[in-house]
Structure 1
Amino acid sequence: MILFWYCFLELIFPLAMGTGVLTAIMLMDQIYKFVPFLKATGLEMAPLIWMVVYSVPTILMLSMPISLMIGTYVGIHRLGQDSEITAMRAAGVSLSYLFRPVMALAFLVGLITTWLVMWASPWGVRSLEELKFEILKRQTKINLTVGKINNFFGQKSIYIFEQEGDLLKGVFIADWEDPEGKSMIEAQTGRIHFEESEKRIYLLLYNGRIHQLGEEENHRLIQFAQLDYNLSPPNRDRSNLPARYRDPSKGPQLNDMQMSVGRLRSEIERAKAGSKDQFEYIDEFHGRIATILSCLVFGIFALPMGIHDPRNPKSMRFVYMILMMILYYALYSQGRAQVSQGKGSIFMIYFPLLLALAIGLVNYFKINYDFGSLKEWVGHRFKQKKETP
């Protein structure tokens, strides 16, 4: 047990270091996206802290399996460089013993990842969207002032001539982000309406006109008695989301990161058999399972990569491991894309895991039995069987 805990603790520090570095890098990108909301709150620290807190579970879900691979490689490689693995083998301890601390750590990381995937990450994403909506409401109440051009998140300019209570008189809107063309809206009166169920904010405009300039510079004039104008929040680009999330007219949809496991399974059963929605839900569900299993597979894959070979110290195993990780995620992303479109089976999601597992086991047997190739190892085993009386 002393040897087990010694090896186990040697893996903890590089795992923690890798998780911290990867999480910090991913958070930098997230914080950049929070800038419009921070401007709306007057750059207060409390909203920023909560945004970071809500983002951490999702980021950890992605960074921990990768950090486990890097941490296993670094920890085992350090043991090899210090000749501790050589001493273990000289004392009669097989390399298979290293599977115990590596698998124990992989199992622990897998449990944490399971908690993140199943509960913490959906909670974080939902809470983050609710916080953004509260900031959006505050921005609307504070910045829509009378007699001033209000720059609403850099997407549109709103001018209000008069206000009596909650009634706005003389509303002018210049919207340069309208997908149908640049438009200017003028209305005699209007009111601000917060739709809590949809997490949206509307300007209810009455008796006005829309001046719209299309792509071919043609002018259209549209008159209306009532217009529910949606004050869309920033980051409206939904091109990276499944098809059912891209249409903002359908109301707020929970994406895969917002759904609990129970909700996701119920959506799979509720969706029409063979429909695009069902394929996408199936893809998301099995993507979560693959994320959890990747912790165990990455540990097995990285173990032989980290074993130091004094006869070939410049074997470039770390570069090889990084290239394999890139290949893994390329195949994984392609597999999920095919499954979500109904063009492939769920096996395509798990195939990269099986490939990484097979490569890891082959490399382990090559190193453990000091063979240069799998063919040599198979020949040796076959020879042993023939010699056995």
Structure 2
Amino acid sequence: MIALLVLTALVLLPQVLKLVDLWVNKSVSITILGMMTLLIIPKFLVASLPMALLVGTLTALGRLAQDSELTAMKASGVGLWHMIRPLALLPLAAALISLSLNWYWVPQAHVLFTQVKSALLASNTFSIKTQTFNQSIPGLTIYVHKQSQGGRLLEGLLIHDAREPDHPVTLVARSGALHRNSDGDTAILLREGSRHQSLPEGKFRQLAFATYDLPLGVDLGASSKEGDEERKITAFSGAQLLEQTQSSDPQQAYEAIQEQHRRLAIPIATAILGLLAIPLGTQHAQRTGRSYGLVVAVLVMIAQFVLLNLGEAMAKRHVVSPLVGLWSPNLIMALFTLYVLRLAHYDRGLRFADWLSQLLSVIPQRLLRKGPPASPRAEG
């Protein structure tokens, strides 16, 4: 549990900092930020749960090995298979939690987070701070000297539109009014102003206007039409995925099948990693201490991450089927787990783990070893 809390906090920290920016610069309430933080936690729990399971199991078994309790258990007739039975309950529980996160909590949280974010973006359009350079809309910097009529009438505007980086535009207007255009997006109707734009070869264009309609690309409702049409398949519920697999569009059906395999493969991978930690922890932790558990957990997670991403990428490019691409990494790790279990049953060490144990036991000694005494200077 400690490893899960620490690892989740580490991977969650960059996202929380982005949300804190909404509180500092956009005056979003703490309650809304707390709700948004809770909605993104399930997604990161899926990633931190296998790592926490590895670190926790290896650290616990390492402590037992350091205290010679594993040796006493083996001398009392308690073999590896007897130890696996209670320890296997933890990977099984972690796999069930991961399965529920993938199939229910993560999609639901993604939908709710998108709705809150869209509504927040729309509301921030009407709460532009005066005498401040507002950047609540990506690519737009808006400065307003004064507001009236509940924030809908703006006076003294300076707008820099960099949504097209190659053709930035600067607008200056005496006044403007927020309204909803025919596409359902928020726009500012500028009055009595000028439009400035730099052109290639050092040229400059200036346009004076009586009225100018600038779309902001923000829906006044809680969701946009484009967002509904381009909704990520990772946000689909289990029933929606099943319906999508029967779609007339082959590509959509293929993506739905791949997503189904991914949601099932990750919980199984979590269980396999938990089982792999048992023989690795009982064999090599006694000589190296707690550092062994963390290093092994990182190396195993890197290997699993590379295999999963490689298989998923090959499945996306139609090099292999989703069944092969998403389940081959689990098959490889399962075979490796059985191999390590067999070695542990016969008290044989894994050569790579032996090298790692020796390395981790030698490094602290080398770092703490005192250097040779300095030779006295010759007096001349």
> Do these two structures clear the TM 0.5 threshold for a shared fold by scoring above it?
yes
**1:363 and 2:340 matched:** yes
1-structure distance, mates of 2:21, 2:288: 50
Residue ranges of structure 1 left out of the alignment (5+ in a row): 1-15, 234-247, 375-389
Moved more, 102-111 or 249-258: 249-258
Letter in 1 for 2:65: G
Contact residue 189 and residue 212 of structure 2 kept, 8 A: yes
Moved more, 60-69 or 216-225: 216-225
Letter in 2 for 1:331: L
Partner of 1:330: 306
Partner of 1:133: 118
What pairs up with 1:219-238 in 2 under 5 angstroms? 229-231=215-217
Secondary structure class of the residue paired with 1:122: helix
| Cα distance per residue 1:24-46 (max 9 Å; x no partner) | 10121111221332135526422
Q: Identity of aligned pairs, percent?
A: 25
Deviation at residue 203 of structure 1 after TM alignment:
0.9
Contact residue 121 and residue 218 of structure 2 kept, 8 A: no
Residue ranges of structure 2 left out of the alignment (5+ in a row): 352-380
1-structure distance, mates of 2:258, 2:206: 45
Partner of 2:362: none
Cα gap change, 1:32/1:169 in structure 2, threshold over 3 Å: closer, same or farther? closer
Q: How many residues align?
A: 338
**1:157 and 2:141 matched:** yes
2-structure distance, mates of 1:216, 1:259: 49
1-structure distance, mates of 2:212, 2:204: 21
Deviation at residue 19 of structure 1 after TM alignment:
0.3
Cα gap change, 1:45/1:191 in structure 2, threshold over 3 Å: closer, same or farther? closer
Secondary structure class of the residue paired with 1:49: helix
What pairs up with 1:95-134 in 2 under 5 angstroms? 95-134=80-119
2-structure distance, mates of 1:224, 1:331: 61
Moved more, 347-356 or 316-325: 316-325
Secondary structure class of the residue paired with 1:269: coil
Partner of 1:340: 316
**1:307 and 2:292 matched:** no
Partner of 1:181: 167
**1:191 and 2:206 matched:** no
Letter in 1 for 2:260: F
Q: Which TM-score applies when normalising by structure 1?
A: 0.73
Contact residue 258 and residue 315 of structure 2 kept, 8 A: yes
Partner of 1:295: 270
Contact residue 40 and residue 135 of structure 1 kept, 8 A: no
Q: Which TM-score applies when normalising by structure 2?
A: 0.74
2-structure distance, mates of 1:339, 1:224: 55
Cα gap change, 1:219/1:290 in structure 2, threshold over 3 Å: closer, same or farther? farther
Contact residue 335 and residue 348 of structure 1 kept, 8 A: yes
2-structure distance, mates of 1:209, 1:270: 50
1-structure distance, mates of 2:350, 2:34: 52
2-structure distance, mates of 1:87, 1:366: 20
Contact residue 190 and residue 213 of structure 2 kept, 8 A: yes
RCO higher in structure (CA 8 A, sep ≥6):
2
Partner of 1:32: 17
Contact residue 65 and residue 295 of structure 1 kept, 8 A: yes
Deviation at residue 194 of structure 1 after TM alignment:
9.5
Letter in 2 for 1:174: H
Partner of 2:77: 92
2-structure distance, mates of 1:74, 1:181: 56
Secondary structure class of the residue paired with 2:169: strand
Deviation at residue 126 of structure 1 after TM alignment:
2.1
1-structure distance, mates of 2:341, 2:48: 25
Secondary structure class of the residue paired with 1:342: coil
